Amino acid sequence: MTSFEKGMKEYLMDRIEFGVRMAGIPFRVRTESEKTRAFFNDFLYVPALGETVPVLEASEEDLARAEKQYKNTLRQKGEAVPDRIGRIFLELTAVHEKMTLALLPHNVFLVHGSALCMDGRAYVFTAPSGTGKSTHARLWREVYGNRVRMINDDKPYIRYDAAERTFLVCGSPWRGKHGLGSNMEAPLGGICILHRAGENSMKRIPAEEALPELLPQIYRPSGREDMVRTLAFTGSLLDQIPVYTMRCNMELSAARLSCSVLTGRELSRQDLQSSDALCFTE
């Protein structure tokens, strides 16, 4: 055994490797920490014998880049930048980016938003950070109870099934600060772009109006080929899926309005009596 082979053997002995399935696509993740495997617990997958599965592993360069990007993001938000950032956090951030890039050729794309499922259909609420996506999803859970399941509260994947001409919203372990979500998928019924306001109003918008608001909330890779894929995906999404813009407050009436519009469910007499300033326009 050469010194290189011996070094590689010792290196791999210190690593943990496990299979995961994300948005229907299998991967292997290689890590030095059991905590990283625990993070993926709900998405673990055992590849079949002889199955060729891509391996994702964060290098020291990947960790350094993830740290730099994270600190830059904090500075842009005007938040305090810590002297030290946990290695597990950086590894998960780096693996997330690698996985997202590896999913692009499979027509799977990352969206910044809160995704929930109600009565078998998925709905995605998206907006810049701090607008109230998670709050709006929580209002749905308060109003409609266990009819609502959280798919992912921060970074769901959307997969396009070309054979069925269907967009499916898929869970991921990157669930946001509240940790809400599950390993599930559901056909996408609609997208709602949120804006804060004192009164609630909602309207469907055409693709040309939705594009500049929606595109910043979809992961945009730096490579030309991947960016072309992303733009093509966004165009197909806007062609097939209804997109709405909603000005809303943080009252239960906001959830009642968006649910009635997205699902086509008529507001009940009780909804109308307990909802102030509801407005929907075509």
For residues 124 and 196, membership in a common domain is answered with yes
For residues 151 and 75, membership in a common domain is answered with no
For residues 258 and 153, membership in a common domain is answered with yes
For residues 36 and 74, membership in a common domain is answered with yes
- Give, for all 282 residues of the chain, the pLDDT tens digit: 555 444 444 444 568 999 999 999 999 999 999 999 999 999 999 988 888 899 999 999 999 999 999 999 999 989 999 999 999 999 999 999 999 999 999 999 999 999 999 999 999 999 988 889 999 999 999 999 999 999 999 999 999 998 889 999 999 999 999 999 999 999 999 999 999 999 999 999 999 999 999 999 999 999 999 999 999 999 999 999 999 999 999 999 999 999 999 998 765 544 544 444 455 555
For residues 254 and 210, membership in a common domain is answered with yes
For residues 250 and 117, membership in a common domain is answered with yes
Out of 62, 89, 105, a domain closes at 105
Task: Quote the number of domains for the chain.
Answer: 2
Phi, psi for 247 (deg, rounded to 5): -100, 125
For residues 176 and 74, membership in a common domain is answered with no
Range of the domain at 155: 108-281
Q: What angle do CA 188, 249, 144 make, to 5 degrees?
A: 50
**Residues in CB range of 160: below 8 A, 6 or more apart:** 107, 108, 109, 166, 167, 168, 233, 236, 237
CATH of the domain at 169: 3.90.228.20
What is this structure's pTM? 0.88
For residues 93 and 26, membership in a common domain is answered with yes
Q: What is the DSSP string of 48-92?
A: PTT----EE---HHHHHHHHHHHHHHHHHHT----S---HHHHHH
What whole-number distance in Å separates Cα of residue 20 and Cα of residue 241?
29
For residues 259 and 147, membership in a common domain is answered with yes
- Residue 129: per-residue pLDDT: 85
For residues 249 and 135, membership in a common domain is answered with yes
- Residue 242: per-residue pLDDT: 97
pLDDT digits (tens, 9 = 90+) for 32-77: 999 999 999 999 999 888 888 999 999 999 999 999 999 999 999 8
Phi, psi for 5 (deg, rounded to 5): -65, -40
What whole-number distance in Å separates Cα of residue 11 and Cα of residue 17?
12
Out of 78, 105, 132, a domain closes at 105
- Residue 221: per-residue pLDDT: 94
- Residue 275: per-residue pLDDT: 45
For residues 73 and 179, membership in a common domain is answered with no
**Residues in CB range of 21: below 8 A, 6 or more apart:** 27, 43, 45
- Residue 265: per-residue pLDDT: 72
Q: Quick check: helix, strand or coil at residue 183?
A: coil
What whole-number distance in Å separates Cα of residue 122 and Cα of residue 112?
15
Let me know how long the chain is.
Answer: 282
Out of 50, 72, 105, a domain closes at 105
Side-chain-side CA neighbours of 116 within 13 Å: the count stands at 28
For residues 99 and 112, membership in a common domain is answered with no
